[in-house]
Structure 1
Amino acid sequence: MKRLYIASTLLFIVLASCFSSDEDKSVSNSNALGINLPDGFKIEVFAEVDNARSLAVSPSGVVYVGNRASDKVYALRDTDGDWKADEKFVIASGLNMPNGVAFKDGALYVAEVSKIWKYPNIEADLNNPPKPQLITDDYPTEGHHGWKYIAFGPDGKLYVPVGAPCNICESDEIYASITRINPDGSNREIVAHGVRNTVGFDWHPDTNELWFTDNGRDRMGDEFPPCELNKISSNGQHFGYPYCHGGDIADPEFGSKRHCNDFVRPQYNFRAHTAPLGMTFYTGEMFPAEYKGDIFVAQHGSWNRSTKIGYRVMRVKVENNRAVDAEVFADGWLNDATQNQTGRPVDVLQMADGSLLLSDDYGNKVYRISYE
């Protein structure tokens, strides 16, 4: 088993060296915010929001923002069309890590750690939100990886992940999974196993397959194991946790129990501790044509690494329904020399005009990225 682990580790070092040159590729076009972007792109502050986390947008253009460290859910509205929010509403407060927000059929859905609420006809009066309806309170109460990203899929169901209640452990089936429920909270089923902690996913615009980010375990050193980008091809697939990481690395504590060949390999391995969270397939018309169909991933950044990494937005290139490469799209929130950060990207959301919104829970902002 030890020989297998060493061989897997050496293989990942080779793979990581291939990927790192693309991931560390510098971008240009710095701006007043100190953020670097490719030429022609612009970043501006859309709104100031404390601990801005997950994002959702309604057909009318109202943007909803969840919290993790705080207890609130916000609504942002741009009434004069200048792409800066001039109205901000507190939709809810006193909630337990209300990270997840989703919008469907005029209703806002909010996910706490163990509960999901529905605010029907939310935009009838944002100053006086309706009393929420409890959809379900049947999710685990553990706070460790308990905050949730939620979104409605092409099948009309609400997808709700359940993180592992630990850094690395074996646990009941409901943990380290992605579930889905009907909009009324009924008929919960598990669609993916072995998912340590996903805080972002999206569906391929052509195949409707669910792609998701996953944060790798801690306490294996600066470069191991990788964080992942995965794809669900059929319900019930297992993605390795806690037995295998990055497709090839047997876990030093649990790897002897299962072989890495038993699990679905990642579509792409990000560097360890970059903490990929929100992601979206780009389907808009604003950006240059070569961006269409690619994935933008917000990397929240490391917390237990000797030198920090992440704090940026990645572009993952997708060809023939496969991730083939990745490069830095936006950075500058981390000063490599001083190791000081000014922001931590969390979620990325495409707007109707093709621009992107990006939340930052450290800088307490929601940005808009556009192309001129």
Structure 2
Amino acid sequence: MKLNYPLKSCLRLTFVAAVLMSAGLTGCKEASDLWESIIPETDKEPTSSEIKGYVFYPAVQPATDENIAQLRVPAGFRVTKFADKLGKPRILVTGPGGQIYASDREAGIVLMVQDMNNDGVGEVIKTVANIKQVHGLTIHNNKMYMVAVNEVYVADMNADGTLGQPRMLINDLPDGGQHPNRTIAFGPDGKMYLTVGSTCNSCPEPNPENATILRAEEDGSNRKIFAKGLRNTIGFGWHPETNELWGMDHGIDWLGDDEQKEEVNMIKQGADYGWPYIYGEGKYNPGDRPKGDTTYSQYLQKTTLPTLTYQAHSAPMGMAFYNGAMFPAEYKNDAFVAMRGSWNRSTPVGYKIVRMHFENGKPVRFEDFVTGFIVGNNRAHFGRLVGVTVHTDGSLLFSDDTNGVIYRVSRQ
């Protein structure tokens, strides 16, 4: 439930049965530290875990000049408004002519924003498509592909950047549930890739296409599950040098302030990334046991674990590899990720843009790139970030669907 004022409440969650007194646990931290030893492999013994959970939504402030002025970026960079008063811009994509497209799921529209005089401000804003609950966007072979909850559409791109009439390619993607925000991209193989989140926080899914990445032909035909066990992967993309597919998956909520960490996964065909039974560095989820006679240990053996993790509850959204010429050379082929920000944590985290460093084609660490959206001594914010794209001029653009702003990061 979203609240319009700050609320902080401690919720004690007991997943199953009585406490294992023989383990001698005296508090939540000790229980957390010993999860693997107290979660049995079969139903012959009770499972128990006591966890503190929080709901805390920071209050909302406007994106004033004063608030924007205190945003922090690395030396030599600056952050400004590219466009505002946009409604609720979500996913961003850059057109070949420098047009910036933004989806607004709530309004059911795709916007086109243009900086006609190259001054770093988008002064022309047009609605170029009307599609109920549209979210994911990508451009392939001079066509715009748009995905809503159940549908995928394609539209021809006109010379001025506007779109022709959208045509439906797919109409039977799984229902959304808790995670209806589909994203879409085309890989180096020319295939269409679609993310389909889970319907719940943690549960066995009746539809095998939920909690997956799907792959299909360019026209939407021959759809198959490419990888599974992915709770909600919004941001994903192919490393420009290796062509390996990387994605950031949202961790399970209600496992405490510092669990489950967000995952960076190398996504391979046929791989299982563990959700809902295995998470993080191979930990057992006390809320869900593998089906049938399969034990946690057996499920762990077939689970592909993350390459890197990030602070729990940060909520990774859009992700873009940097391929521009404006930033210093060391930024080339690193990825930028929008961390939307927490609600399921006592102290807010996220609400920032981070840089994911790659070395030899593999992610090795994160560092802050744009911070300062949390204000008022951690009690308020003026931006929850979603989309990320690299403009044709080499600047980095990212969207905030709280105050309807697209921000621009450029060199000074």
Does TM-score exceed 0.5, indicating one fold? yes
- Correspondence 1:261-276 to 2 at 5 A: 261-276=301-316
Structure 2 residue 176 is matched with structure 1 residue 142: yes
- 8 A contact 1:313–1:328 mirrored in 2: yes
- Give the counterpart of 2:353 among 299, 313, 327: 313
| Cα drift, residue 123 of structure 1 | 4.4
Tell me: CA distance 1:125–1:320, structure 2 relative to 1, closer, same or farther (3 Å): closer
Cα separation, 2, equivalents of 1:224 and 1:42: 33
- For residue 330 of structure 2, give the secondary structure of its aligned residue in structure 1: helix
Query: 2:93: which partner in 1?
Result: 56
- 8 A contact 2:177–2:198 mirrored in 1: no
Structure 2 residue 324 is matched with structure 1 residue 290: no
CA distances 1:229-252 after superposition (whole Å, capped 9, x unpaired) = 1112x3111111111111222111
Percent of aligned pairs sharing the same letter: 37
Counterpart code for 2:77: F
- Correspondence 1:59-98 to 2 at 5 A: 59-93=96-130, 95-98=131-134
CA distances 1:299-344 after superposition (whole Å, capped 9, x unpaired) = 0001122221110011121112222211111111112614201001
- For residue 199 of structure 1, give the secondary structure of its aligned residue in structure 2: strand
- Correspondence 1:1-372 to 2 at 5 A: 6-7=33-34, 32-48=68-84, 49-93=86-130, 95-123=131-159, 126=162, 129-171=163-205, 172-232=207-267, 234-255=268-289, 257-259=295-297, 260-335=300-375, 337-372=377-412
Query: 2:5: which partner in 1?
Result: none
Cα separation, 2, equivalents of 1:336 and 1:224: 26
Larger gyration radius, structure 1 or structure 2: 2
Q: Calculate the TM-score normalised by the size of structure 1.
A: 0.88
CA distances 1:110-165 after superposition (whole Å, capped 9, x unpaired) = 11100011111344573xx4221111102012342112111121122221111111
Tell me: CA distance 1:42–1:244, structure 2 relative to 1, closer, same or farther (3 Å): same
- 8 A contact 1:198–1:215 mirrored in 2: yes
- 8 A contact 1:75–1:90 mirrored in 2: yes
| Cα drift, residue 352 of structure 1 | 2.2
Cα separation, 2, equivalents of 1:340 and 1:365: 17
Counterpart code for 1:319: E
- For residue 246 of structure 2, give the secondary structure of its aligned residue in structure 1: strand
Cα separation, 1, equivalents of 2:218 and 2:230: 23
| Cα drift, residue 285 of structure 1 | 2.4
Cα separation, 2, equivalents of 1:263 and 1:165: 21
- For residue 238 of structure 1, give the secondary structure of its aligned residue in structure 2: coil
The RMSD of aligned alpha carbons is 2.3
Counterpart code for 1:131: Q
Cα separation, 2, equivalents of 1:342 and 1:31: 8
Cα separation, 1, equivalents of 2:304 and 2:264: 11
Structure 1 residues without counterparts, runs of 5 or longer? 11-29
Tell me: CA distance 1:124–1:326, structure 2 relative to 1, closer, same or farther (3 Å): closer
| Cα drift, residue 34 of structure 1 | 2.5
- For residue 280 of structure 1, give the secondary structure of its aligned residue in structure 2: strand
Counterpart code for 1:280: A
**Residue-pair matches, total:** 349
- 8 A contact 2:197–2:212 mirrored in 1: yes
- For residue 290 of structure 1, give the secondary structure of its aligned residue in structure 2: helix
- 8 A contact 1:106–1:123 mirrored in 2: no
- Greater CA drift, 335-344 or 193-202: 335-344
- 8 A contact 1:5–1:252 mirrored in 2: no
- For residue 314 of structure 1, give the secondary structure of its aligned residue in structure 2: strand
- For residue 150 of structure 1, give the secondary structure of its aligned residue in structure 2: strand
